[in-house]
Structure 1
């Protein structure tokens, strides 16, 4: 996955758990088992929760496997291999921007058979920020416009693209699209985002409590340290 050396066995275990949790979420959405089996499954889930809660990091401490410099965020709700919330989306750099692939299952449903519009917005925010980083820029989201051209189908391979279209001082403008992999030129969702580099005097206010996995204070110095955050006063 690139970046600083990390514990490969821990990464594999986090990925296995994330995959299992996503499978559990999908199964819970589609299941038709009776109430007694649902209650038994809930008890099992609570037991697993207790096991995982036995040792936890503070919310202000980055996970040991994260490396923001190379955009490795293992619990990102969009791209994190360890997140039960993430599809996950896989993002890669290409000439002129970034491309991503994902498949959204029933847990992301809005209108029957289609992806919830808020999920499309979440994916676009992540992808536009990634395009800014790929261009050597960065910023926090201060404005995001999303146009829904056509509904996005569930359980269908998707292709997403984004690229920087304007830069001016601390601000950059990024645009992107969502389409199916089978028809990449038929836009389903189109987005435009404005990202602004926080003023130097605001860094301590925004990130003063963040530490690395060892507990050392490590305020953001790179774009990827802040892409998950959004503030209109950036």
Structure 2
């Protein structure tokens, strides 16, 4: 068994297997959008994919039950669509704490294409929402997104190492304001996308309404006290 600092122990072998499957699925997605094989090969691949789907569907958790590897208290979310190691949707973004905020690193392949050769603008929005929320958590805050504004200064290139940064700029009561940027790793001071988000902690009565049906992995009714989409943040720069 392995444990994050302050978190619940988890099965390291299961985590490795989930990560391996997530990596394989991301490779499959990339291959599927680049392939030029003929129609009969596509149909055969579709049949193989359905067979794998049937194997994975043989045992499933309800959507209100947290995955066994998740621990929201230390922000470990293995199927998060931005940073989850087990998600076929996630690049994934690697997020770490730095002085004053957080930094994310990612490389977005052809599955994330909008304009030819560049990242879809909606993907930039998805990534920045995640990173801004992670910055709030790193500052000891949390909340749900109530406003997200982006300025697209330049297109974000595909298949290029990216650096994402975010930091809390205002905090009062249940509300905090977080700003961030996207740039290439090769030119981190040349901003491609700039973002500003407002996050608000739900009132207690709404917290119960939003998350009251959530259970832990064993099925016990134990909604997390601080639910979040952000995943584990490394404490080292």
Taking structure 1 as the reference length, the TM-score comes to 0.95
**How much has 1:221 moved relative to structure 2?**
1.0
- Tell whether the 8 Å contact from 2:181 to 2:191 is kept in structure 1 after alignment: yes
Most deviating of 127-136 and 213-222: 213-222
Residue-by-residue CA offset, 1:140-161 (whole Å, 9 max, x unaligned): 0000001000000000000000
Query: Which of 157, 162, 166 is the matching residue for 1:162?
Result: 166
Q: Does 1:50 align with 2:54?
A: yes
Q: How many residues align?
A: 232
Q: Distance in 2 between matches of 1:230 and 1:206?
A: 28
Structure 1, gaps ≥5 residues long: none
Residue-by-residue CA offset, 1:46-83 (whole Å, 9 max, x unaligned): 00000000000000000000011111100000000000
Point out which structure has higher relative CO (alpha carbons under 8 A, 6+ apart).
Answer: 2
- Aligned positions of 1:201-212 closer than 5 A: 201-212=205-216
Q: Distance in 2 between matches of 1:206 and 1:229?
A: 25
- Tell whether the 8 Å contact from 2:163 to 2:183 is kept in structure 1 after alignment: yes
Q: Does 1:197 align with 2:185?
A: no
Q: 1:231 to 1:217 in 2, by over 3 A?
A: farther
- Tell whether the 8 Å contact from 1:70 to 1:224 is kept in structure 2 after alignment: no
Q: Which consecutive segments of 4 or more residues in structure 1 shift more than 6 A?
A: 225-232
Aligned to 1:27: 31
Taking structure 2 as the reference length, the TM-score comes to 0.93
- Tell whether the 8 Å contact from 2:104 to 2:163 is kept in structure 1 after alignment: yes
Q: 1:62 to 1:229 in 2, by over 3 A?
A: farther
Structure 2, gaps ≥5 residues long: 1-5
Q: Distance in 2 between matches of 1:180 and 1:11?
A: 30
Q: Distance in 1 between matches of 2:26 and 2:19?
A: 11
- Over the aligned positions, Cα root-mean-square deviation in angstroms equals 4.4
**How much has 1:98 moved relative to structure 2?**
0.3
